[in-house]
């Protein structure tokens, strides 16, 4: 079976004999670093190590994709933020930002040559050379709302949404320009899937009405702009915004374990019907109904669960109709390789029955 074609068919709305098992989110784990000699933080700055670690779970346990990079700080760093690259158990974090107001946020002419952007682009090329015809290559980018939070500070972002909404809209628009430039550069190299991560848009952080009015428009613009297959990941309990997510235009929606898959699929169907009734078409390249990706717990099941617990959770989400099996969010660095393999084996056993 061609693993790349299997995933792309699902995202295109075609039926397949086997539900893919991939990760659209962060997949670097310490055991894989030790076996491949591609450790953080070096793998954040070295294209060879980034490509090696990004494909390590495929090589070591059979996860059906390669995925890079391993954090959401690449764009912010290229825009001028100071970043702490962390260590082998800690992902990079924003240390400081030069921006005080929305009007100060603008994309410099040399944006695409700044920071680690060239490293990511080179790592994509290396993965394409090695796996281009057989394995789906997934590249993660930061969504415009989350990027705005990095540039202004998340606390300021949430506060300004209530006190200075016009300024936040300007900041999101300026951040969107950076997202589009980066997505275009990535698309030219040729990965199979771009995953837009918007963790700051979680319902636990902002009201669903704020998501609809302030976050969704920029995500729609970005969906229209991205020419490859595209996935949207939002952390937390996204059940209240599933219907809105369905009308944005991403081929897949990645959700956490807090989401009820059966209810989510019902909401996606409703969202699709709303578009049809309203005479709206989905953005180019997207299927009529976004596919659901997830939602095996990364904080519990894959991090510290037993093989039986993993098997039961995989069966539960497959029975519920998950379209693509995946970790619910970024893998914890100390997640055991045997647990990732157990997830894949549980998928295999489910279809062998």
- CA dist 119 and 84 (Å) reads 17
In a domain, 338, yes or no: no
In a domain, 181, yes or no: yes
Of the candidate ranges 127-131, 267-271, 273-277, the one whose mean pLDDT is the lowest: 273-277
CA distances from 116 to 75, 97, 121, 252 (A): 8, 17, 9, 27
Question: Could you give phi then psi for residue 259, rounded to 5 degrees?
Answer: -90, 130
In a domain, 192, yes or no: yes
Tens of pLDDT, residues 70-85: 999 999 999 999 999 9
In a domain, 160, yes or no: yes
In a domain, 349, yes or no: no
Question: Could you give phi then psi for residue 295, rounded to 5 degrees?
Answer: -135, 55
What pTM does this model have? 0.94
In a domain, 318, yes or no: no
Q: What counts of helices (H) and strands (E) characterise the chain?
A: 17, 9
pLDDT band for 285, please (50, 70, 90 cuts): very low
**Dihedral sign from CA coordinates of 290, 249, 27, 92:** negative
Are the C-beta atoms of residues 289 and 272 closer than 8 Å to each other? Answer: yes
In a domain, 229, yes or no: yes
Residues in the chain: 353
State the distance between the two ends of the chain, measured CA to CA, in whole angstroms. 19
- CA dist 57 and 65 (Å) reads 8
Question: CATH no. for residue 239?
Answer: 3.20.20.210
In a domain, 330, yes or no: no
Please spell the DSSP secondary structure of 209-230, one letter per residue.
HHIIIIIHHHHHHHHHH--SEE
pLDDT band for 297, please (50, 70, 90 cuts): very high
Question: pLDDT value at position 282?
Answer: 47
Q: How many domains does one find in the chain?
A: 1
- CA dist 233 and 230 (Å) reads 10
Tens of pLDDT, residues 193-247: 999 999 999 999 999 999 999 999 999 999 999 999 999 999 999 999 998 887 8
Range of the domain at 272: 3-253+263-289
């Amino acid at each position: 079976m061609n693993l790349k074609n299997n995933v792309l068919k699902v995202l295109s709305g075609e039926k397949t004999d086997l539900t893919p098992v991939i990760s659209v989110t962060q997949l670097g784990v310490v055991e894989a670093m030790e076996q491949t000699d591609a450790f953080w933080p070096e793998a954040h700055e070295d294209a060879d190590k980034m490509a090696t670690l990004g494909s390590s779970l495929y090589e070591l346990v059979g996860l059906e994709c390669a995925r890079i990079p391993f954090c959401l700080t690449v764009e912010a760093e290229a825009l001028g933020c100071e970043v702490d690259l962390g260590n082998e158990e800690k992902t990079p974090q924003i240390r400081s930002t030069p921006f005080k107001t929305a009007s100060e946020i603008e994309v410099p002419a040399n944006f695409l040559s700044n920071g680690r952007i060239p490293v990511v682009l080179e790592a994509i090329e290396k993965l394409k050379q090695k796996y281009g015809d057989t394995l789906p290559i997934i590249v993660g980018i930061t969504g415009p709302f989350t990027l705005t939070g990095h540039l202004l500070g998340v606390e300021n972002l949430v506060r300004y949404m209530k006190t200075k909404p016009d300024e936040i809209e300007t900041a999101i628009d300026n951040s969107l320009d950076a997202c589009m430039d980066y997505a275009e550069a990535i698309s030219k190299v040729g990965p199979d899937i771009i995953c837009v991560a918007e963790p700051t848009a979680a319902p636990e952080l902002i009201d669903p009405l704020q998501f609809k009015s302030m976050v969704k428009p920029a995500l729609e613009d970005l969906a229209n702009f991205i020419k490859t297959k595209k996935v949207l990941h939002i952390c937390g309990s996204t059940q209240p915004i599933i219907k809105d997510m369905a009308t944005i235009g991403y081929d897949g929606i990645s959700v956490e374990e807090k989401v009820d898959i059966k209810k989510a699929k019902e909401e996606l169907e409703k969202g699709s019907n709303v578009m049809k009734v309203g005479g709206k078409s989905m953005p180019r390249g997207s299927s009529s109904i976004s596919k659901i990706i997830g939602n095996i717990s990364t904080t519990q099941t894959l991090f510290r669960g037993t093989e039986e617990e993993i098997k039961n959770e995989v069966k539960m989400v497959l029975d519920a109709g998950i379209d693509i099996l995946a970790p619910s969010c970024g893998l914890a660095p100390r997640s055991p390789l045997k647990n990732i393999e157990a997830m894949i084996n549980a998928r295999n056993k489910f279809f062998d029955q």
